[in-house]
Amino acid sequence: MILDQLADAVIYANRSGEITRWNRASAAMFGFSSEEALGRSLDLIIPEHLRAPHWRGFDAAMSTGAMKLQGRPTLTRALHKSGRKLYVEMTFALVKGDDDDVLGSVAMARDVTERVERERSAARTS
């Protein structure tokens, strides 16, 4: 219930990269209902040209228990159900069990498409 009240998208994927938690903000941002997203690969929202680097980083984090970004937000691209590409600011964290084994990864995402497009437009007119 708490996660569904957040304005930011919260996505949890298990070690295989299968989506197992998808809050209401995720559905609003990416256009996929929970029913459409749950059980699907993260590829659902990752543009094709970013999939290989995403999976290299994801697999490395699952095996080493460490992430390069260490919770720092990063600007990236994501896919909406309509095929439209979004600019999203995401933070990632590993989820570990009691024995410190990596169970999966959680991401929080915020759609910053309008801001990025505004900034790029302003930079072009300068």
* In the chain, beta strands by DSSP E: 9-14, 19-22, 74-79, 85-96, 102-111
Which among 115, 61, 119, 64 has a CA at the least distance from the CA of 93? 61
CATH code, domain carrying 76: 3.30.450.20
Strand partners, 86: 78
**Domain total for the chain?**
1
State the pLDDT confidence band at 81, using cuts at 50, 70 and 90.
very high
Between the two ends of the chain, the Cα-to-Cα distance in Å is 46
- pTM to 2 decimal places: 0.90
Q: Which domain holds residue 106?
A: 2-125
DSSP 44: G
pLDDT > 70 in the chain, percent: 100
